Amino acid sequence: MRVVIATDPGELARSAAAHIAGLILQSSGPRVTLGLAGGSTPRATYRELRAAQIDWSRVDLWLGDERWVAPDHEESNERMAREELLDHVPAVFHGIRWEKGRPPHAAAEEYARTLQRILGDHPDIVVLGMGDDGHTASLFPGTAALAETDADYVANHVPGRGWRLTATVPLLRRCRHTVFLVAGEAKADVLARVLGGDKLPSAVVAEAAGDVVWFVDEAAASRIETG
Ligand code: 6PG
């Protein structure tokens, strides 16, 4: 596990985008898969990725998690990804099929089948964020999805946030490369806890995953024990 501390969110975005582009360039297969985080932190990194000199037509993009809302809803991770990246590069995006009234479990099961088809046994790269409670994707502390040991993608009811669909630890642990993006003073305490060994969801995923690189800014890193 490696931690890259950037001066500010702009440098974090540039460094993370360069790292992700490098992983795409070095991938040897005919296609490469990239899982996208939601939330707000990844926006700047996705904007930097637009200019990466890569053949986007060989890239399959998928969602590490999604809020159970219409894809044009302001809370939708797909909408954010479209605004910042999908509408700007010729990659192939595999979204979750949302329908009003559709049970989220059915959508999660269908998406797990879709991902099995495009990811195979080992997804190449996944980008993840982290909440100030240590959640990642939509694996929130104390929620059922965090305990899932079999399915790759599930519906998860999160108190106070409603239904989410999320990759599970079994799927995330199979990713060849994991890139965490964490910025801001509000994440400083939880980042220090996660890197210090507290078994919060982000730590559980990071410990289980392959090549893990944390891109953090100085504000988020301000409470990491160094030395
Ligand atoms: C989501 C994300 C989630 C996010 C964290 C951090 O759907 O919200 O996938 O895991 O990465 O909540 O969000 P911010 O980047 O907005 O702080």
User: Which pLDDT score, from 0 to 100, does residue 227 have?
Assistant: 62
- Ligand 1 neighbourhood includes 15 CB (under 6 angstroms): no
Q: Give the mutation target among 12, 41, 73, 168 for probing the ligand 1 site: most ligand atoms within 8 A of CB.
A: 41
In this structure, how many other beta carbons lie within 10 angstroms of the beta carbon of residue 107?
20
- d(CA 136, ligand 1 centre) in Å: 7
Whether 202 lines ligand 1, by a CB cut-off of 6 Å, is: no
Which H or E element spans position 58?
Answer: none
- DSSP strand pairing (177-182 vs 211-217): parallel
Q: At what angle do helices 42-49 and 9-26 cross, to 10 degrees?
A: 50
Q: What is the pLDDT of residue 210?
A: 85
Cα–Cα distance for residue pair 153/176, rounded to 1 Å: 17
Q: How many CA atoms lie within 13 A of 135 on its CB side?
A: 24
Output the residue whose Cα is nearest ligand 1's atom 12.
131
Give the residue, out of 12, 36, 40, 182, with the most ligand 1 atoms within 8 A of its beta carbon, to mutate for a pocket test. Answer: 40
Q: Of all atoms in ligand 1, which is nearest to the CA of residue 181?
A: 15
Q: Please tell me the predicted confidence (pLDDT) of residue 6.
A: 98
Axis-axis angle for helices 188-195, 201-208 (nearest 10): 40
Mean pLDDT in consecutive groups of 10 residues from the start of the chain, 227 residues: 97 98 96 98 98 97 98 98 98 97 98 97 97 98 98 98 98 98 98 97 95 98 86
